[in-house]
Amino acid sequence: MSEIVSVKNLCKRYDELTVLDNISFSVQKGEVVVIVGPSGCGKSTLLRCLNGLEEIQDGRIFLDGEKIETNRNKTNGLCERMGMVFQSYDLFPHKTILQNLTLAPIIVKKRKRKEVEEEALALLERVGLSSKKDSYPRQLSGGQKQRVAIVRALIMHPEVLLLDEITAALDPEMVREVLDVVLNLAREGRTMLIVTHEMQFARAVADRMLFLEGGKIVEEGEPEEFFEHPKTERLRQFLQTFTYIKE
Ligand SMILES: Nc1ncnc2c1ncn2[C@@H]1O[C@H](COP(=O)(O)OP(=O)(O)O)[C@@H](O)[C@H]1O
Ligand SMILES: [Mg+2]
């Protein structure tokens, strides 16, 4: 395996608030890394830094050996190489699903409409949504919209996918259909960095877990060890908040 993402001594502050405090880690090609941690610990900020959406105060981020430009005024197109999916799907309401998917590849990547449409249809088929190509976002359920948002990221051919709590806004019965799509992507060997509170899913999909707290990676490890034998008291306590024990 070779390294595709490398984060070195990343520091991110908002004024006085230090959100990421000298963080270093790397991701191998084809690896699925799941990041967990309490609300407000900087998970979204970390993904946004990787994607080139945030200015950072110190440190360096490399994608396939190339340094990512983290000064927003000087974007060098690298962030496109990391596809991001958020909790809110942000589809264009007045465009059809097919139009939502083909817009960026045609305008940003200057690809041919016919070729992009064919790819969009093939991807929609894979997530079980071919029949929705001419529908508008409001005609889709939350789970369906989120699957479209995943396809919208995939069609840009990213080298790494960043998923930020993509099921957090969904009704429970729709969580599964979205996570199944992500599990399939993992099986295909996609490199992914996933932030989630779905612990069973994390355990099933992760090659490696990271626990972020207080601006630092407090613990990391293979899922089995991470969940069954947490080394730090802080991770133990965090994991307990997901367990219910009958008194
Ligand atoms: N644009 C911003 N300006 C100031 N503070 C921010 C901004 N974005 C996030 N923060 C703060 O940074 C911390 C980390 O936020 P975030 O990365 O969203 O956490 P998480 O995703 O782990 O819940 C929080 O304390 C949050 O209030
Ligand atoms: Mg967040």
Number of the ligand 1 atom closest to the C-alpha atom of 165 = 21
Cα angle vertex 231, ends 226, 232, to 5°? 115
Beta-carbon contacts of 144 under 8 Å, excluding residues fewer than 6 positions away, are 129, 132
Number of the ligand 1 atom closest to the C-alpha atom of 15 = 4
Looking at ligand 1, which residue's alpha carbon is closest to its atom 3?
14
Q: What is the pLDDT of residues 101-130, one digit of tens each?
A: 999 999 989 999 999 999 999 999 999 999
Q: What is the pLDDT of residues 136-161, one digit of tens each?
A: 999 999 999 999 999 999 999 999 99
Centroid of ligand 2 to alpha carbon of 168 (angstroms): 10
Measured from the alpha carbon of residue 19, the closest ligand is 1
Q: Which residue has the tokens 């064919």?
A: 118
- Ligand 1 first shell, C-beta below 6 A: 14, 17, 19, 37, 39-45
Q: What is the pLDDT of residues 190-236, one digit of tens each?
A: 999 999 999 999 999 999 999 999 999 999 999 999 999 999 999 99
Centroid of ligand 1 to alpha carbon of 47 (angstroms): 11
Task: Tell me the domain boundaries of the chain.
Answer: 3-91+159-240
Residue 165's alpha-carbon distances to 14, 85, 105, 193, 224, in angstroms, are: 22, 8, 25, 11, 21
Distance CA 74, CA 79 (A): 11
Looking at ligand 1, which residue's alpha carbon is closest to its atom 4?
14
Nearest alpha-carbon partner for 52 in 92, 12, 9, 88: 12
Q: Which residue has the tokens 């355990």?
A: 203
Distance CA 129, CA 131 (A): 5
Q: Which residue has the tokens 């490398």?
A: 6
Q: For the structural domain made of 3-91+159-240, what CATH number should be given? A: 3.40.50.300
Phi, psi dihedral angles at 6 (to 5 degrees): -135, 120
Measured from the alpha carbon of residue 87, the closest ligand is 2
Nearest alpha-carbon partner for 63 in 48, 79, 75: 79
Query: Which of the 8 DSSP states describes residue 191?
Result: -
The answer to whether the predicted template modeling score (pTM) of the entire model surpasses 0.85 is yes
Looking at ligand 1, which residue's alpha carbon is closest to its atom 9?
45
pLDDT range class, residue 48, cuts 50, 70, 90: very high
Q: What SS3 class is residue 56? A: coil
- pLDDT of 76: 52
- pLDDT of 122: 98
Q: What is the pLDDT of residues 10-35, one digit of tens each?
A: 999 999 999 999 999 999 999 999 99
- pLDDT of 85: 95
Looking at ligand 1, which residue's alpha carbon is closest to its atom 24?
40
